[in-house]
Amino acid sequence: MKRFLSTLAVFALSAGFVFAQDNASESVQCTTVVIKSLSIEKDKDLDFGTVAQGVGEVEIEVGDDAAVKLTITGQEYYDVLVSYSSPDYLETSDGDQLSFEEKVKHNASSEAAGASNIDSGDSVQLNSNGNHYLFLGGTIDVAANQATGFYTGTVSFSVEYDL
């Protein structure tokens, strides 16, 4: 009898689980927003020209004709994170160094007039045309004993949406 009651209890519990199961369903809507690709394009390279030993500081201001204009293009009114890095020196293939300091400004307008300083890691907002502008100038300091040669260095820019 005891065995019969145990079996009956197991059957009753099993039957209870069958009746306790419930069917449910849920729908999940999948969405996304597609925005324009982000790009950055320079108009030229930064060229200090030919300079003589001992000339001292040679500066290209961001508003000068020799300055570089970079155009960021993407989705209108979106925020963009701007990062850049530059060397402390321009170098020859022999390893001679020439001190270099970059100057970077930005503006919603394509004109350098009224542009503000920007630090690497700052965020800017694209304008109604989906553009923002960076301007690159810089300073070199040519000593009297500066080794002659072709000096070069790279300022690297990257942009990404600040979502």
pLDDT 10s digits, 8-20:
445 555 555 555 6
Q: What is the pLDDT of residue 8?
A: 46
Q: Which are the contacts of 94, defined by CB distance < 8 A and separation ≥ 6?
A: 147, 149
| Domain positions in the chain | 39-161
pLDDT 10s digits, 75-116:
999 999 999 999 999 999 999 999 999 999 999 999 999 999
Q: For residues 45 and 138, what is the distance between their CA atoms, to the nearest angstrom?
A: 12
Q: State which fold the 39-161 domain adopts.
A: Immunoglobulin-like (2.60.40)
pLDDT 10s digits, 24-34:
999 999 999 99
Q: For residues 41 and 37, what is the distance between their CA atoms, to the nearest angstrom?
A: 13
Looking at 2-11, 65-74, 124-133, 150-159, which range is the least confident one?
A: 2-11
Q: For residues 89 and 109, what is the distance between their CA atoms, to the nearest angstrom?
A: 31
What is the full DSSP assignment across 115-146?
-EE--TT-EEE--TTSEEEEEEEEEEEE-TTP
Q: Which are the contacts of 143, defined by CB distance < 8 A and separation ≥ 6?
A: 53, 54
In terms of phi and psi (left: phi > 0; alpha: psi -120 to 50; beta: otherwise), the region of 19 is alpha
